[in-house]
Amino acid sequence: MRGYNSLLGSHYDKYEISYTEFDNSFPASIFDLPINETKKCGVLPGSTAEHRVLANPMEDLVGRHQPWAHEVFHHYRRRLGRRYSSVRELEHRQSIFVHNMRFVHSRNRAALSYSLALNHLADRTPQELAALRGRRPSGAPNKGQPFPSQLYTGLILPESLDWRMYGAVTPVKDQAVCGSCWSFATTGAMEGALFLKVRAG
């Protein structure tokens, strides 16, 4: 072919491209044109900065111009109204975002059974994300006793056991949309432990 090398930005020349491996993971139907569908004018598909990164990820790593990934970050920042305290923080957040975007793209190119996408946390540090997951573990021993496995060696257990039949726990509740699963799990463990303690006493 004759043209420009968009990867390294070299001059107009004749280039030969040799493919050593090809994986046809997309069905041919994606090239079929929709039938009886009203056409509306809009943005040309694949013309955004992120599509440029997807089309040629290596160009964004070694290209001579400002990486397209930076433009994607600025679109993200404007869309979410992100404001940073300094230029240094902006560059730091941009680096985090670009790193996460490249990770998302690399996983999606692998044709896995799932796909990833960027969200409002794409410019957050691992420490900031960890703070959203709850309390920080102390690391100190909890003084819990080891499980006495020797007491149950050779014990033949039943195939199934329903503690509701013994009154140890109440029937399962339906939390609906209130998000109280944690409270059901907590009370279930407490009522079961209390039942065993009282029954044993």
Q: Give the C-alpha distances (Å, rounded to integers) separating 116 from 33, 94, 160.
A: 27, 19, 39
Pull the structure tokens for residue 83.
């404001």
Position with higher pLDDT, 3 vs 140 = 140
pLDDT tens digits, 7-29: 665 667 777 778 888 777 778 88
SS3 (DSSP) at 3:
strand
Cα–Cα distance for residue pair 28/21, rounded to 1 Å: 19
Whether residue 23 contacts residue 111, with contact meaning beta carbons closer than 8 Å, is answered with yes
Give the pLDDT of residue 37.
67
Tokens 């509701």 locate to 164
What element of type H or E holds 127? helix 126-131
SS3 (DSSP) at 14:
strand
pLDDT tens digits, 156-185: 888 998 888 888 888 877 776 566 778 888
CATH code reported for the domain at 2-20+48-131: 1.10.287.2250
pLDDT reading at 107 higher than 60: yes
Q: Give the C-alpha distances (Å, rounded to integers) separating 115 from 14, 43, 96, 103, 112.
A: 37, 24, 20, 11, 7
Q: What is the mean pLDDT of the chain?
A: 81
Q: Give the C-alpha distances (Å, rounded to integers) separating 31 from 22, 23, 34, 37.
A: 18, 17, 9, 15
DSSP state of 45: T
Give the pLDDT of residue 38.
66
Give the pLDDT of residue 140.
83
SS3 (DSSP) at 13:
strand
pLDDT reading at 58 higher than 60: yes
pLDDT reading at 98 higher than 70: yes
